[in-house]
Structure 1
Amino acid sequence: MSIHPVEPLLLPNNQKATLIASRFEDTWTKLRAFELTSYKACVFLDTDITIYKNMDRIFDTSLPGDDWIAASHACVCSLDHDSWAPKNWIRKNCGYTPLQHPSALEKGTPVPPSSAPPDTYALLNGGVFLYHPSEALWQAIHHHFLTSSKFSAYQFPD
């Protein structure tokens, strides 16, 4: 494990964030993980992630290209019925709902082909992801972050 202190990555001064909660203010700093260009593959872990067993084999995951990431679904159950959660954030629309324990710990549960998954299935958990950093990828991400006006519209930037 290596620790790499970084400066916060915040929206450019001319952009105002429309965040649903203040806890997302510095979420953009996660993008700095892509600056670690001296590594072939990395796994980003939020500080609230707990590891219970060796996860080295995650690095064996094959991705379609070096500019792809592997991540799990974002949990959108909203079991606490948060007032800020979108109306479609309900248990039946959560990617984790169809999972069966303990088999889900070793293999995912595919979305049934007979039905289109809810839009919430496209949301990724930004707390754990596998990626292949490169200078070109970091430059593209950073340039897009600094020049796109879309980031200020994200309510859930995680």
Structure 2
Amino acid sequence: MVAENHSFKPPKVWATLVTNLDYLQGVLTLVYRLRCVKSKYSLLVLHTDSLSQAGRDILKHRGIRAQEVPRLSPTSSQGYVDDPRFEECWTKLVAFSLTEYSRIVLLDSDMLPLHNMDELMDLELDPPSLSESQDAKSSKRVFAACHACTCNPLRKVHYPKDWIPDDCSFTSQHANPGHAQTNGASVSSGLRKLNSGLLVINPSKGIFTNIVEQMEVAGSTYQFPDQDLLADLFKDRWVVLPYVYNALKTMREPNVHGPIWRDNRVKNVHYILSPKPWEELGADGTWNGTQETHKWWVDAYRAMRAEEKTLGLA
């Protein structure tokens, strides 16, 4: 008699972090768009105790799964005067500790999925036992992400001086835009930086311990907290995804990475920096923005709100 296999495989989820009401419109639109693109996987909203009860009630009323997580930050922090939003970014790394899930694809809540991305749930990564070994020779797929754009197109004066187009990984792909739709640049290209807006993770207590230890040792030196830590601790040990999974809105400009950007190939837009699309909406719902990519988000938000009214949720 063959014994039944009762082994339990932890679920796979999308996840996003929210710490206050400012990004809640983004979260609701993210949930809506994942459903529109027919993802098989649900979105888990991670939040700290700073999220108000009103915010928690909004999620609960809509049947959106939420899980409180502890706030994470180094004991000694440099303080992010120029970028206060970075204070909360450390907490995103808590996702690495959530071993009740076998795969987490972490999304920033200022993202807009345009196409199904479920293939990321099956992307080959190193098993945690290998990643935890810190064996840089045999473990090359600890997590997956897209490169950071290090062009500094807005010319922010406090950004690193070497953040220039010639040192950007995406610039190296301009000569072959077709290839850029399905392949990332080499992990060792440019400044070797990543953008943590989308992270494909196999959670592991051991990896999380390594992350926390690194945060305490060097956290105060990182200008872009979580993503600098990951790029440093796991140097050349992560899988580079093509830009289409984390298409930074600034990349679309002709003088930035317009040579590789293709509207019809982008799977997920990331509304980095300010203003956010929802910040351009008036009290009466009128949109006061001008950027085409922002209109994509506004259209999705309005469709979500219309659906909520039909369902009696608005």
Per-residue displacement from partner, 1:96-144 (whole Å, max 9, x unpaired)?
1233445422223448xxxx844x1x11111111110023333443354
Structure 1: gaps (5+ residues): none
Residue number in structure 1 paired with 2:146: 72
User: Taking CA–CA contacts closer than 8 Å with sequence separation of 6 or more, which of the two structures ends up with the larger relative contact order?
Assistant: 1
TM-score, structure 2 normalization? 0.43
CA separation in 1, counterparts of 2:217 and 2:185?
36
1:129 partner amino acid: L
> Residue 26 of structure 1 is aligned with which of 61, 82, 88?
88
TM-score, structure 1 normalization? 0.79
Residue number in structure 1 paired with 2:78: 17
Greater radius of gyration (CA)? 2
Work out the percentage of aligned pairs sharing the same amino acid.
33
> Residue 2 of structure 1 is aligned with which of 26, 44, 49?
44
Shift of 1:57: 0.7
Does the C-alpha gap of structure 1 residues 102 and 48 become closer, same or farther in structure 2, counting only changes over 3 Å?
farther
Structure 2 counterparts to residues 134-145 of structure 1, below 5 A? 134-145=204-215
1:155 partner amino acid: Q
CA RMSD in angstroms comes to: 2.4
The number of equivalent residue pairs is 148
> Residue 96 of structure 1 is aligned with which of 160, 165, 170?
170
Residue number in structure 1 paired with 2:221: 153
Structure 2: gaps (5+ residues): 1-42, 48-68, 132-141, 228-314
1:69 partner amino acid: F
Question: Which SS does the other structure have where 2:106 is aligned?
Answer: strand
Does the C-alpha gap of structure 1 residues 64 and 136 become closer, same or farther in structure 2, counting only changes over 3 Å?
closer
Question: Which SS does the other structure have where 1:11 is aligned?
Answer: coil
Does the C-alpha gap of structure 1 residues 89 and 144 become closer, same or farther in structure 2, counting only changes over 3 Å?
closer
Question: Which SS does the other structure have where 1:3 is aligned?
Answer: strand
Bigger proportion of residues as helix: 2
C-alpha contact (below 8 Å) 2:146/2:184 kept by paired residues = no
1:38 partner amino acid: E
> Residue 133 of structure 1 is aligned with which of 203, 206, 210?
203
